[in-house]
Amino acid sequence: MFDPLIHLLDPLRRWLGSLVGLGEGWPLHWPDWALPKLTGAVEEKLRSQPTDEADMPSAGSGRPAKGLDLSRWFNLEVIAPVIVGILFLVGWEVAVRVTGVPHYLLPGPILVAQTLVRDWGTLFPSLLITVQITVVAFLAATVSGLLVSIVFTQSKWIERSFFPYAVILQTMPIVSIAPLIIIWLRNNTFAAMVVCAWIVAFFPILSNTTLGLNSADHNLLNLFQLYKANRWQTLIYLRLPSAMPYFMGGLRISGGLSLIGAVVAEFVAGTGGQRAGIAYQILISSFNLQVPRMFAALILVTGLGILIFVSLSALSDRVLGKWHESAVRREN
Amino acid sequence: MPAPVITLNHVSKVYSNGTVALQDMNMTIQEGQFVSLVGPSGCGKSTVLRLVAGLGHLTTGSIEWGKNLEKDAPRGEPKLAFVFQEPALMPWATVMDNVRLPLKLAGEPKPKADRDVLEALQLVGLRGFERSFPRELSGGMRMRVSIARALVTKPQVLLMDEPFGALDEITRSKLNSDLLELWQEKRWTVLFVTHNIYEAVYLSNRVVVMAARPGRVVADIPIDAPYPRSEDFRTSSLYNNYCREVSARLQEAMHGSAQDPYLRPPSAGRLR
């Protein structure tokens, strides 16, 4: 009658066995569910860890040969930062309670979590506004960066004439020009913020892609010349694919920067009402000394930033996966 | 009497920094010849190849193409193919797509191009690797892909710039004999640049020795050994004699042009 229970406990027993170092006889066999497919840096890290277990003829295991298995989660590289995180949160909470710091100075993590849940109704819609600004600015930066870099590589003179101005655009601190842009586009705050975020996000894509388009293998360029390829053939079949890793690198930088640009623009604009972004919520909370709410909003912005980075890394891996060194898994 | 395919008339090339890469070079290459250019680095042997391929401009002189060749382009040259020292493959494209490139650039319809590509891969012994990516292949196989890409246009003239220079000795000699077999079958005119005397003598029916500073021809040695040349040829006394002769001329060439003490061959100065 305990059979079902044993079925349930058996994997747990074996897993614990592997944790306490009885690995040889106790390989980890988690039940049939595989982990969701991870992408980007995390996946790379997890997959590149060859386990002895994989080479062993593990008798009687129902484990599928392919896919991630759970043991990789439980290596030190993954556990250590998680433990640090938990210890930090616990220490924070304890410190706040022991010292009795008022929560308008430093709220404990539990209060922050409660506030996040309580104010979800106002914070999340604001986050969506920020997402809109970020995404529109990022797409604009991607398209314009790509097009301008293509124009640059058509002629050395165009590049030499215009590149310094792109640099100037980049070096102007966004905080100092944001008010100007907001004044110019005072009828359309959304557009003003998109422009601010675009200015920040544009340059990395431009400079990376220009570098990439110019770094096509010179032998291949000669080959294209020998076979009388025209300008567009060279661009489409050689320069653009060569630039792809650089372009992807630019995207990853610009993704984060467009969020920063959006947040800065919101701060400067200080726009409330129906279309208030998450940065405005942070600003308002600070005015009202609602520090737990500030923390909650901060968590949302950070989460958004991480989400952007992870999705762009995944995109990069997907596009470059088959051929580029950065994305190729090596077996040595 | 074979017809001349490429004629270099008083060809000179001076680079913009003042380096005289070639000075007054004259050479006629007959149809179906396998000509090797041998010389120390900096003697302009690669420059000759690039000028023949139309990559770069002559400073003076002219390059003329044979009269009775199937013409391909406004410059009036026959179908050329170039093999670089590096395989120069597109890492993002499969073997199939890499080899198809010249046909794609020429706007050939895909079904016909695919047939030609498979044929070229067959020639270099790479059938079955159509869908591989360059990074999945060994150095020798990448070079074979590069050669297949050159052959896919069915060229009349094959220009090879130290194609096997970066390969290990075993792979190199295998590719040498495979190339020779193909050449006997297809009879392209080959201009082959190498710094390896043994390779040059084994492959060619004519070895042109060049000297540096300024780049010029110092010897033109016909290799009168019958094809097919088996592996035994590599150990025959005929082969050894030719290697010795080319080597001697090369030493002379370097000796004569050694104004630069660092370029002096070991026999020229005593060790102090």
pLDDT in tens, A232-282: 999 999 999 999 999 999 999 999 999 999 999 998 887 666 678 899 999
Which of A60, A88, A106 is the endpoint of a domain? A106
Predicted-complex ipTM score: 0.85
In terms of domains, do A51 and A18 share one? yes
Interface contact A222-B54, CB threshold 8 A = no
Q: Which residues of B touch A240 (CB under 8 A)?
A: none
Q: What is the pLDDT of residues A176-201, one digit of tens each?
A: 888 899 889 888 888 999 999 999 99
In terms of domains, do A60 and A92 share one? no
Segments making up each domain of chain B, as ranges: 1-79+156-166+186-260, 85-154
Residues with Cβ within 8 Å of residue A326, at least 6 apart in sequence: A245, A316, A320
End-to-end CA distance of chain B: 55
- Average pLDDT of chain A, as a whole number: 80
Integer-rounded Cα radius of gyration of chain A? 26
Q: Which residues of B touch A228 (CB under 8 A)?
A: 73, 105-106
Q: Would residue A329 count as lying in a domain?
A: no
pLDDT(A11) > 60: no
In terms of domains, do A88 and A145 share one? no
Q: Which residues of A touch B105 (CB under 8 A)?
A: 224, 227-229, 233, 237
pLDDT on residue B19 = 83
In terms of domains, do A147 and A245 share one? yes
What is the count of structural domains for chain A? 3
pLDDT(B239) > 50: yes
In terms of domains, do A122 and A242 share one? yes
Kindly write down the DSSP assignment for every residue of B62-120, as one continuous string: EEEE-TTS---STT----EEEE-SS----TTS-HHHHHHHHHHHTT--HHHHHHHHHHH
Q: Would residue A290 count as lying in a domain?
A: yes
Chain B positions with Cβ closer than 8 Å to A: 50, 53-55, 73, 80, 82, 84, 86, 88, 90-93, 101-102, 104-106, 133-135, 153
CATH of the domain at A177: 1.10.3720.10
Task: Answer whether A227 touches B (CB < 8 Å).
Answer: yes
For range B236-241, the mean pLDDT: 90
- Chain B CA closest to residue A231: B105
In terms of domains, do A119 and A210 share one? yes
Q: Would residue A217 count as lying in a domain?
A: yes
A124/A3: higher pLDDT: A124
Interface contact A226-B101, CB threshold 8 A = no
Residue positions counted in chain A: 332
3-state secondary structure A201-258: HHHHHHHHHHHHHHCCCHHHHHHHHHCCCCHHHHHHHHHHHHHHHHHHHHHHHHHHHH
In terms of domains, do A193 and A88 share one? no
Number of Cβ atoms within 10 Å of the Cβ of B148: 22
Which pLDDT band holds residue A62 (cuts at 50, 70, 90)?
very low
Question: Rounded CA gap, B135 and B94, in Å?
Answer: 10
Question: Rounded CA gap, A324 and B203, in Å?
Answer: 36
Which pLDDT band holds residue B34 (cuts at 50, 70, 90)?
very high
Range of the domain at A87: 77-106
Task: Answer whether A241 touches B (CB < 8 Å).
Answer: yes
Q: What is the pLDDT of residues B184-198, one digit of tens each?
A: 888 889 999 998 899
CATH architecture of B1-79+156-166+186-260: 3-Layer(aba) Sandwich (3.40)
Specify the amino acid at residue B228: P
Q: Would residue A81 count as lying in a domain?
A: yes
In terms of domains, do A143 and A256 share one? yes
Give the 3-state secondary structure of residue B1.
Answer: coil
pLDDT on residue A308 = 95
Q: Would residue A326 count as lying in a domain?
A: no
Q: Would residue A325 count as lying in a domain?
A: no
pLDDT(B269) > 70: no
Q: Which residues of A touch B165 (CB under 8 A)?
A: none
In terms of domains, do A190 and A41 share one? no
- Average pLDDT of chain B, as a whole number: 85
pLDDT on residue A329 = 61
Q: Which residues of B touch A241 (CB under 8 A)?
A: 90, 92-93
Interface contact A226-B90, CB threshold 8 A = no
In terms of domains, do A253 and A143 share one? yes
Integer-rounded Cα radius of gyration of chain B? 19
Interface contact A237-B105, CB threshold 8 A = yes
Q: Would residue A265 count as lying in a domain?
A: yes
